[in-house]
Structure 1
């Protein structure tokens, strides 16, 4: 919970700082926001190296579908290749991603039978495509949706793979 407060304060300070807002398609802009995906979610920073090439880091947790008392941590790096279609408010892209994920499941007790604590790590992968959109007059605020395929393995037969669906938002600053 402390992490959420920290990043909320950091995001608020960035918005209220002297950094000027910049359109989402411009080279040299930094987008700060959140990315939600069917496999992971978290706070995100996206940097446009050029108008075509972008990089993104997402730090957060994972959606593994387990009930009970579990915790997770994910760090995912993404490369985005953006297509220039002549519209500054719409930017389609393809992406590739690699991540490091952890999972801690505290176990449970059913009818007097206890399961042990589980701690696993995984290297994840994914690829797909999507589009980012900004409303006219708000070119510095981008909303994205995407679809792709991803997966990985925690070992001991515990793996995951399949279609991924995602959405996110970023507020862009001029560095």
Structure 2
């Protein structure tokens, strides 16, 4: 009995060492670079890995299994965070006109610039619900329909909230650019 326990612990340690850095980076990106939160979620993920180690049947690669646990843990986190009070920000006419401009592809623009440090900082300034929606849409690349299931809202409601989140993001980004230009 003791040998089985030791074998399980050795196997877990090996898995942990092999995947912890990659899982941490995955979680860190999806939590808006919140280091303490990413550390906590990574710890929870590997706790689930340890608990499920003997139940893992090898139907997928070890890495795929671990990242599925990580994805589910993040979705649970998003769900809990999103279910807290939602703050609605008004959409001004100028931003509304820019968002409806067919020549401007906000989706492509957001995906291309997400890696930018200023964008990350801007995202962290938004209400948590907007951070979650934008992360699910542009980092996780999840459909509106799937996001609706995660946050327990209708797809139409999610589309509307995504519009407000994008508007808030654009407004915040412009404010940050303006402040940076003033410093220069």
* Structure 1 length-normalised TM: 0.24
Task: Identify, as 1 or 2, the structure richer in helix.
Answer: 2
Task: Identify, as 1 or 2, the structure richer in strand.
Answer: 1
* Structure 2 length-normalised TM: 0.23
